[in-house]
Amino acid sequence: MTDIENYIGVLSLCGVSFILAGLAMLFFPPKKINSLYGYRTTNSMKNQNNWDFAQKYSTKFMLLLSIVFLLIATINIILSVPEPVRMIIEFIVLLSGIGCMFWKVEKEIKKQQS
């Protein structure tokens, strides 16, 4: 394995992907409810108000997550965390972050409806 392969982990790639997706959503948000592009859940697609709110809120959360992902990936590199441990940490952080994003956005959508 090369040095680059040792340093680039799933979390780093997901962090960069989340930045790119977040910036795309920030500068080119989906205007209308669709089944192709944007934060698409049953709650977000119920009406246009939910849709607009979910797009803005999820974009901010996605950009925040990208920073967290890249920060943790960098810490793993600096501390020279062994690969098996790093992979477990990255997997847990990735799933927790994405799960937290969906939970928080859905919670805020419901709060908006009240």
Answering whether pTM is above 0.75, one says yes
Q: According to the model, what pLDDT value does residue 1 have?
A: 47
pLDDT category at 100 given cuts 50, 70, 90 is: very high
Which of residues 10 and 1 earns the better pLDDT score? 10
Residue that the structure tokens 């959360």 belong to? 61
Q: pLDDT for 66-76, tens place per residue?
A: 999 999 988 88
* pLDDT band, very low/low/confident/very high, at 6 (cuts 50, 70, 90): low
What are 77-83's contacts with CB under 8 Å, separation 24+? Answer: 77/7, 83/6
CA distance 104 to 84: 30
Check whether 62 has a pLDDT greater than 90: yes
User: What's the CA gap between 66 and 72, in Å, rounded?
Assistant: 10
